[in-house]
C-alpha cells in the first residue's frame, strides 16, 4: 500500500480487495482481514473499491524497516 501510495496523488487509493489480492498473490479474504487489522489500528480507512491512508508514518513504522530509505528516496 505504501508503494502504491507513493505513486498516486492524495491519500485515497482506488483498489478493490480482489485486485489487491491478485497483485499480492494472496487470497481475497486474507487481504480483507489485513485491511481490517490496519483499520483497527487507525492506519487506513477502507470502503468498497477505496483505501485511504490515514497514518502513513504509522504504516512505515509497522513495516519494521521493510519499507526503508531506498523506497522513500525514489518515490516518497
DSSP for 2-46 reads HHHHHTSSSSEE---HHHHHHHHT--HHHHHHHHHHHHHTTSEEE
Count of structural domains within the chain: 1
Residue 49 has pLDDT above 90, yes or no: yes
Count, residues in the chain:
76
Q: Which domain holds residue 6?
A: 2-75
Mean pLDDT of 15-37: 95
Adjacent-strand bridge partners of 50: 47
Q: Which pLDDT score, from 0 to 100, does residue 73 have? A: 60
Which residue in this structure is represented by grid cell 504504516? 59
pLDDT for the residue 16: 93
Q: How confident is the model at residue 68 (pLDDT cuts 50, 70, 90)?
A: confident
CATH of the domain at 39: 1.10.10.10
Amino acid at each position: 500500500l505504501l508503494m502504491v501510495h507513493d505513486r498516486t496523488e492524495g491519500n485515497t487509493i482506488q483498489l478493490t480487495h480482489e485486485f489487491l489480492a491478485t497483485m499480492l498473490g494472496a487470497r481475497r479474504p486474507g487481504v480483507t482481514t489485513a485491511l481490517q487489522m490496519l483499520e483497527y489500528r487507525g492506519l487506513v480507512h477502507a470502503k468498497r473499491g477505496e483505501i485511504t491512508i490515514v497514518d502513513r508514518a504509522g504504516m512505515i513504522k509497522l513495516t519494521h524497516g521493510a519499507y526503508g530509505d531506498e523506497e522513500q528516496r525514489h518515490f516518497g
